[in-house]
Amino acid sequence: MLYAPLLLLLLYCYYYYLYLYYYYYLYYYYYYYYYYYYYYYYYYYYYYYYYYYYYYYYYYYYYYYYYYYYYYYYYYYYYYYYYYLCFCPCPYLCFYFYSCFYLYLYC
């Protein structure tokens, strides 16, 4: 009869610490779960950040490349007709070109 309350107390302590053990186990389980979740979240966030960074970098690179290509194309285009008009051996033939007519005025 004297051992029954002691046995109940031991069982109570056993299940109580077992409950605490699983409680903290689940607590740390979810803690590390969310820790790795946010870790991979920021990992992919920075991955896409640098991805779009380089995307826009190459986008502006090709934009300015196209712009300067376009600029030099027309630069040589007008240089060619300017040279053709100013040093044309037969200037009257040059007037047949409509664009050359305006450039001839600046020679």
pTM (predicted TM-score): 0.32
Name every residue whose Cβ is closer than 8 Å to that of residue 106 and which is 6 or more positions away in sequence: 82
Q: Where in the chain are the domains? A: 3-104
pLDDT in tens, 19-50: 999 999 999 999 999 999 999 999 999 999 99
Q: Say if CB 96 and CB 81 are below 8 A apart.
A: no
CA–CA separation, 91 vs 66, rounded Å?
35
Give the residues of the chain that fall short of pLDDT 50. Answer: 98, 103, 107
DSSP 93: H
